Amino acid sequence: MKKVLLIFAVVLILVVMFSCTQISEMLSSKAKVSVVLTTGTEGEGDTTKPQEYSDVSTLGIFRNEAPWIKDIQKLEVKVSKFSYKYSTGPGEGKWATPTSVDQVIDLVSLDSTDVSWLTFDIPKGAVIVALAFEVTQATVTINDQSYPVTIPSGKAKIVLKNMNWTINEDGEIALSIDWTRSIIMIGPNSYMLVPRIAYRWRGDLKDLWAIEGRITHNGAAPTEPLLIGLYNGTDTTATPLVLKMIPVRKEGNFYLGKHKPGEYTVVVWNNLTFTYEGTDVTFNATEATRTTFDHGKTNATTKLNLTY
């Protein structure tokens, strides 16, 4: 009888252990994905795809030679109702219930740091095929005066399609907003929001470290807006990984996001002028300085001190 009870106890322990293992595996079968908002246009392979309102006609829209862009102090937008479409098998695809996490973001402040928006869980092995969110309000502040910004009718909801991200680990989705090209003047003191958005999957977070620093001119903070670009390696004829404007109020401080260890080149331009064709804007500038450096070789964060 004692032998039977002993065998039963051992079997019971094994069943409990097996069940706990199964439960543990079930609990760890989901990946945690964070959504962050950043600025500039990041690119790496086919993980980055631009999104813009290609059907917004700006013919006849009032334009001047863009000195007003450098005077922008804030560009605040309200983002909400984030959702994603995912697939767990061939021919399958469904939208997750929208997450109502309303947040007002100053897009200009993204020049200095990323902003975390929200985090969601998704089954490991699932494929994210689309993202969606809404921009419901926008306000621009220029020379200490705030103005409402028009959002095109029917375009408050932004849908980013044709993704193919298989999620096997925790990571980040970076929504990269080029704010300097996302606002247009449609009349005196009248503005429209035309978002230019790229997106990027950031996995393997332990290898993604920040590149940041400060630019000075003759030992002091610059008194003009600057344009800065980050390139992979030494080829500056390629598309930059990051391209962003540094307004005067930043006093030369910049943040270029987190990147894997490797060799990079930073180029800084000054004497900026702007030329418009429809919704496209071209930057004309003079190269002020450049430097090539090894990122992540000795320190987790690269801090650059640039002068011109």
What domains appear along the chain, each with residue ranges and CATH number? 31-203 (no CATH), 209-307 (2.60.40.10)
8 Å CB contact between 230 and 292: no
Q: Is 66 left (phi over 0), alpha (psi -120 to 50) or beta?
A: left
Reported confidence tier of residue 292, pLDDT bands at 50, 70, 90: very high
pLDDT one-digit tens code per residue, 240-260:
999 888 988 889 999 898 788
* pLDDT, position 296: 82
In angstroms, rounded to a whole number, what is the distance separating the alpha carbons of residues 170 and 51?
A: 25
- Which of 43, 55, 66 lies closest to 197, judged by CA? 43
Do strands 72-87 and 103-106 pair parallel, antiparallel, or not at all (unpaired)? antiparallel
* Per-residue confidence band for 88, with pLDDT thresholds at 50, 70 and 90: confident
Tokens of 184: 């247009």
Contact 30, 123 (CB under 8 A): yes
Q: pLDDT band for position 3 (50/70/90)?
A: low
Tally Cβ neighbours within 10 Å of residue 304. 18
The answer on pLDDT for 80 being more than 70 is yes
Output the pLDDT for position 223.
94
Lowest mean pLDDT among 77-91, 124-138, 263-277: 77-91
What are the counts of helices (DSSP H) followed by strands (DSSP E) for the chain?
Answer: 2, 20
- pLDDT at position 91 is 60
The pLDDT of residue 272 is above 60:
yes
Residue type, 13: I
Quick one: pLDDT band at residue 269, thresholds 50, 70, 90?
very high
| pLDDT for position 206 | 41
32-77: pLDDT as tens digits: 898 888 876 544 333 444 444 333 333 333 333 355 777 888 999 9
pLDDT at residue 229 is higher than 90:
yes
- Nearest-angstrom CA–CA distance, 113 and 138: 20
In the structure encoding, which two tokens stand for residue 36, read together? 């962050």
CA 196/CA 160 separation, integer angstroms: 11
- Looking at residue 60, what is its pLDDT? 37
Residue type, 254: F
| Predicted confidence (pLDDT) per residue in 175-195, tens digit | 888 787 788 888 888 898 888
User: Which one is predicted more confidently, 67 or 129?
Assistant: 129
CB contact at 8 A, 99 and 79: no
- 200: tokens are 């990027």
CA distance 145 to 73: 9
More confident residue, 32 or 24: 32
Structure confidence at residue 198 (pLDDT): 78
Q: How does the average pLDDT of the chain come out, rounded?
A: 78
- Give residue-wise pLDDT tens across range 98-119: 887 888 999 888 877 788 888 9
